[in-house]
Structure 1
């Protein structure tokens, strides 16, 4: 047994949010980045749709139990297992390009679907439960900006190659190796995440005394989850939250040339980062309003953004159909009418970030318990993935673009009134309803019992000459 000392700031909630943000940046972000390069399985639309359908189908099924798995294994191990599927999938794209192994792309999609559910349950639990109630919007903003920066980098690389060569039909072996190295760094970084019983908020409270849950507690917890009317009311929001990706991606592929698709992907990444930061810092966490009022403000803001952005998208969509598209009439960023289309893709993902932020904020306002929020996150990702699997299925059978656009938009519009009903139940604080444990109280209890002043479960926070140091007994 030995003592592991880390700076006390590392045990803070925001430090842990940054860590999990980097893990997702280096794994999910790099997966999105290499996909944006246009090679591997994504060069075959049918294979891509099949793989994505398998991925999100298994993601949906696994998501139903992934919150319980996270609570049993702890966020560190769950996050580690969740990162592995992204390495397998990127490897399958490389193999498909060099060997033509289409079956491996579909198999890798299945593996990633299972592992991704684990990753996002662990991520959701950390991001929603570790911060103070007043900082949960900012926690989303920080995480989402870091995570989306991975996709942003990949799209810039694709844009640079396209502009230089005029096309991007393949990705070099060295490029795949570089991305895989970054992904494996992300896999390793998952072990830097601390469990809830070792995270201390700025008000001196411990996120959770217990590091792990018990199987029977998870069974009971999941049953209660499905009996909670608030979760039922949020089903349309969860289902709609990624439904529009298939439509937006299909139009981007069919309507623009290679270089312009890469530029659109860059604008998407920028829009997601800006949207997350703005709504997290300047809407959902405004200190001048009560918490429920901040929720209403967030809902109103997102509703207006979605209506405006998708109305503009509809006005453009009615001008073309699938039958009108050909290589000869693809749009280039050199064309005079491109500016509005580029702005639309920026705001598509700006609104996406705001929509995701609102969904996470509502869940995090219902509880501070990491085990409960892990179950919420698992259900959220399960329904989100079910929606995305359905949308890719629609696109795979060449559903008219207008139908896909309207389906995506209507699902979001339906979710807003139901989200308002849930927001009506949000309390100013949940600290009075859930167990809150202070580090100083545990130190006092330990001292009175004649043991060393420990923070929780054998951990302590000691004063150093320059800064506090957290001591973990391993």
Structure 2
């Protein structure tokens, strides 16, 4: 390895050289570690972080992606008069999610990635099926039950996804991995919205979406649950440099529950990110129910939803790659990202304030005949606002995940961080869905979104300044595991990543 270092002083070239040596000489036997080549393109081995991230992304493409496509229409694809069913289902969903999500890291570590993801996928199938049932029976109890079940399932799925996305990649590629996931995941919502648009393109009035829409999504979510079983266990995943994912050996329910509290005890500063977690899904209800459903007809809602999730893909790409920009120290990137998000918050939501002043919740201010169609003369401005709402959401979620991933590389901690994130996020979502169900004035709900987003950024600032480092030493990551440095790094105990303390000093 020292000979490789001598050939180049550039850290990225060292990493590439080390990766090449590992691929050629040090790779374990078996099909999981065999690389493939299609023309000039080299495909990473199956048990690589890249391959596993893509698989997880497609599970979320098929499950939460279809969920987002349905909810992005507002009212779960129903008419505004039936939006109370969607409000009740989602309130039940996120209230359950908030409880389960807090312990989801523990559950994921105990059950394993594949079981957790498959269990999560089944919940999305039942939820979509409940809307199909509602089209014919308007069974309120069943649609609320589907929300409760999905709350249990989704909490576990997102914890498993978060642990993979934040702990599998090396430090200097975490932002890129997050952006890859977010692009593939939101591509599911984009395609789902395009399907909705195609199936409902002739509905110029405010009508519920067709049965065919729900049936298509029901099949896709089931396929997502099945796809989760193609993943490999985390203990078999090996990075390009030969290092392994930091895992706790032989987890038990007792040790994992203790580990949940150890995480809070050892990293109390994580509570400064809790307001960002709380705000991260708060604005969905306002955007879907009180903008898209309230102001646009059925086919235009489908178009808006398509554009919204497409903007999320671009937002994730831009922020993911910017957060990994190699010529700027990670500590500096963290501070710059905070400033950019603060400016975006006032720019995007300032535009939202101008639009929100034009209508109220009262029926005489929001009649069906006043709803925008894409042929309406004043549609372009609201369309761009809705696009920016989607871009902002991707930027927010990408930054929050990157902040958590920059604090530690320990997958046990990160699973718990992801559980905290989704649990607190869901508590906020449950509250705002309930408030919308009580028909709180639109302007009040809008103001709550803007204030929470800006305020949570201010609270989180000390983490950006004091806790995010240029690199996290392996010894620090191993404080609460049974692993040794040799277990984790393998044959490269002296190997240095490009995003290392040495690079930071340089």
TM-score range (shorter-chain normalised) is: 0.7 to 0.9
Contact kept, 8 Å, 2:93 with 2:147, in 1: the verdict is yes
| Structure 2 counterparts to residues 79-118 of structure 1, below 5 A | 79-118=117-156
| Structure 2 counterparts to residues 175-324 of structure 1, below 5 A | 175-208=213-246, 210=248, 212-227=250-265, 228-249=267-288, 250-281=290-321, 283-323=322-362, 324=365
Q: Distance in 1 between the 2:260 and 2:487 partners?
A: 30
Q: Distance in 2 between the 1:105 and 1:440 partners?
A: 46
Instruction: Confirm or deny that 1:421 pairs with 2:447.
Output: no
Q: Distance in 1 between the 2:206 and 2:196 partners?
A: 8
Contact kept, 8 Å, 1:39 with 1:93, in 2: the verdict is no
Contact kept, 8 Å, 2:124 with 2:221, in 1: the verdict is yes
Q: Distance in 2 between the 1:19 and 1:168 partners?
A: 37
- Tell me how far 1:13 sits from its aligned partner: 1.1
CA shift digits 1:352-407 (9 cap, x unpaired): 10011111111111111111100000000011001111111111111111111110
Contact kept, 8 Å, 1:253 with 1:261, in 2: the verdict is yes
Aligned residues: 442
TM-score, length basis structure 2: 0.83
Structure 2, unaligned runs of 5 or more: 1-28, 36-44, 479-483, 494-506
In structure 1, the residue matched to 2:432 is: 391
Q: What SS is found at the alignment partner of 2:469?
A: coil
Say which is worse superposed, 73-82 or 103-112, in terms of deviation: 73-82
- Tell me how far 1:63 sits from its aligned partner: 0.7
In structure 1, the residue matched to 2:18 is: none
1:211 and 1:174, CA in 2 relative to 1: closer, same or farther beyond 3 A? farther
CA shift digits 1:108-150 (9 cap, x unpaired): 1100000000000000000000001111111111111111111
CA shift digits 1:250-308 (9 cap, x unpaired): 22111112222111111111111110011001x21000011111111211122111210
Contact kept, 8 Å, 1:213 with 1:371, in 2: the verdict is no
In structure 2, the residue matched to 1:32 is: 68
CA RMSD of aligned residues (A): 2.2
TM-score, length basis structure 1: 0.88
101, 110, 113: which one aligns with 1:75? 113
- Tell me how far 1:32 sits from its aligned partner: 2.5
In structure 2, the residue matched to 1:16 is: 52
Structure 1, unaligned runs of 5 or more: 446-474
Q: What SS is found at the alignment partner of 2:84?
A: helix
Q: Distance in 2 between the 1:40 and 1:310 partners?
A: 24
CA shift digits 1:72-93 (9 cap, x unpaired): 1111111111111001111111
Q: What SS is found at the alignment partner of 1:205?
A: coil
Instruction: Confirm or deny that 1:154 pairs with 2:184.
Output: no
Q: Distance in 2 between the 1:38 and 1:413 partners?
A: 25
Q: Distance in 2 between the 1:207 and 1:368 partners?
A: 9
In structure 2, the residue matched to 1:467 is: none
